[in-house]
Amino acid sequence: MSSESVAPTPEPRKSDAAERRRAEILEQSARLFDRSGYNKTSMNDIAEAVGVRKPTLYHYFDTKDEILYWLHEEFINTLLTQQEARIAERVPADLMVFEIMADILALMQTHKGHVRTYFENHRELPERHRTTSHEKRDRYRRMLEDAIAQGTKEGTFRHVDPGLTALAIFGMVNWAYQWYEIDGTRSPRDIATVFADLVLNGLTASPPRA
Amino acid sequence: MSSESVAPTPEPRKSDAAERRRAEILEQSARLFDRSGYNKTSMNDIAEAVGVRKPTLYHYFDTKDEILYWLHEEFINTLLTQQEARIAERVPADLMVFEIMADILALMQTHKGHVRTYFENHRELPERHRTTSHEKRDRYRRMLEDAIAQGTKEGTFRHVDPGLTALAIFGMVNWAYQWYEIDGTRSPRDIATVFADLVLNGLTASPPRA
DNA sequence: CAGGGTACCGACCGGACGGTAGAAACGGTG
DNA sequence: CACCGTTTCTACCGTCCGGTCGGTACCCTG
C-alpha cells in the first residue's frame, strides 16, 4: 500500500497476464465453437488456436463445460448491466423494449460465438453451471417482463401477458444468432429498429380500433 | 396389379414392417436427442431404445447424420404441405401468417425433439445433407415472405421488409423450442393466437397515426 | 539469490463412440 | 421346399477426446 507510489495499475488482483490469457482462451473458444460447433471442437483445437498445449488450458479452466459457462457469463453480465442502468434512469417502457432488443442484436456482431454456443448447448451443462446460468438468464427475462408490465400500467402498452410477450420478443432477437451475417448490409441497430417497429406497431395497415 | 383384389394396402413399395422400423428409429432418436442432446446420445442408446443392436440401425440409416437429416424431413415436409394447401385455397394473408405460426408452434408439441435437434445441429451436417435441408427450409421461408408481401400488396399489411419481417416471425415461433413445455397450461394454438395478435396489432396501446 | 507460487509442457490413460466385417436366421416367392 | 434378399446379431476396429500426472522453466517477492 504505502510503498507503491507510481504504480500504473493500482490493484491487479490476479496476474494481469493471466487475465489476458483467460480472455484469449474464451475468445478463441467462441470463434472455434461458432465455426465448428461446441462438440466438434476439441480442447486441443482451442489450445492450438491460443498457441499453447492442452494441459495449459486446464490451468485456466477445469473442464470444457466451464469454458461454455464463462462464455455465457461474458455476455449475460453485459446485458444485465446495460438494463440495470436503464432501470435506474427510469427509461420509458417502449424505449426499454427497443434497447433490450438492440442490446441482444448487438451481440450477434460482437459475441456471436458466445451466443450460439450457449443457446445450443446450455441444456447439456452439468447441473451446477446450468442452474446458475439459468438464474441469470431468468433474471434478465424478468427485466423484460417488468418493462412490458410497466408499459401496460402506464398506458403505453395494451394489456398483454408479460411472460408470453417477453418470450415472443426474445425469440425475435435471439433467433438472429441463426441468420445474422456480420458482414451483412444491415447493422444490428438497424434491425432492432425494424423489429421494434414491428412489435410495437404491428403488421396491420389500418390501426386497430382502440 | 391384376392379381390383387382385396389387398388392404394397395402399394406397399418397401416392406411395411421395414417402414415401421424406420419410423420407430426416428421416433426414439428424436426422444433421446431431445432428452440428452444429439452429441451425447450414442447410436447404442438409440438401438437399445428401439430394442435392437447397433448394427441393425445401420441397416436403416447409413450414418448418424442421416438420422438427423430425416428428422428434419419429417417435419419440414409437413409444414410445406400445409402451407401449399393454403396457397391453393387463396387464404387471406393475415390468416396465413397466423396459420404458419400455429403450424410451427404445433410442432413443439408433436415434434419437439425433431425441431430441437435440427435447429441445434443442422450446421454440422455434412455438406450434401446440409444443403438439401437448407433448400427446403429456405423454400418455406419464402412462403412466409410471399404471404407478407401479398398482404402488403392487398393493403392488409403496412409496407415492411418481407425478408426481415419473416425472420422476426420465425424467430418468435421457432424459439419456442427452447421454452415450450408440453404439459403446460397453454396449447400451441393458444400461444399462436397471442403471438399473432402481437405481431399483427402490436404492443402499443393507442393506435399509431395512420 | 533463495524460495515459492505461477505458467507451461510431454507423455499418457481410460473409455466411449461411430462404424464395419462376416455370418446366421428369417421370410416371402417361385 | 429351395432360393434369395432382408434383417439381425456377435465381435471387433481405429480413432479421438476429455482429462491427468509429474515434472520443468519462469518470475516475482523477500
Q: What distance in Å separates residue B85's CA from the closest CA in chain A?
A: 23
Q: What pLDDT score was predicted for residue A14?
A: 65
- Which nucleotide C1' is nearest A54 CA? C9
Q: Is the CB of B58 under 7 A from strand C?
A: yes
- Inter-chain residue contact A157 with B121, CB threshold 8 Å: no
* Complex ipTM: 0.91
Query: Could you give the domains of chain B?
Result: 13-61 (1.10.10.60), 63-201 (1.10.357.10)
Amino acid at A139: R
At A37 the three-state DSSP class reads coil
**Where do we find the cell 418470450?**
A167
Instruction: Give me the residue from A179, A198, A208 closest to B165, CB to CB.
Output: A198
Residue-wise pLDDT for B10-49, tens only, equals 334 467 788 899 999 999 999 999 999 999 999 999 999 9
DSSP string, B111-174: SHHHHHHHHHHGGGS-HHHHHHHHHHHHHHHHHHHHHHHHHHHTTSB-S--HHHHHHHHHHHHH
b vs e for A146-173, b when ≥16 Cβ sit within 10 Å of the residue's Cβ? bbbbbbbeeebbbebbbebbbbbbbbbb
The pLDDT of residue A10 is above 60: no
Q: What pLDDT score was predicted for residue B206?
A: 73
- Inter-chain residue contact A204 with B200, CB threshold 8 Å: yes
- Tell which of B203, B206, B209 to mutate to test the A interface (max A CBs under 10 Å): B203
Residue-wise pLDDT for A117-144, tens only, equals 999 999 999 999 999 999 999 999 999 9
The pLDDT of residue A96 is above 90: yes
B208 phi and psi angles, rounded to 5 deg:
-65, 145
Long-range contacts of B128-134 (CB under 8 A, 24+ apart): B129/B65, B129/B66, B129/B68, B129/B69, B133/B69, B133/B72, B133/B73, B133/B76
- Inter-chain residue contact B201 with A200, CB threshold 8 Å: no
Which of A90 and B1 is assigned the larger pLDDT?
Answer: A90
Nucleic strand C contact set for B 149-208 (CB, < 7 Å): none
b vs e for A98-114, b when ≥16 Cβ sit within 10 Å of the residue's Cβ? bbbbbbbbbbbbebbbb
B5 phi and psi angles, rounded to 5 deg:
-110, -45
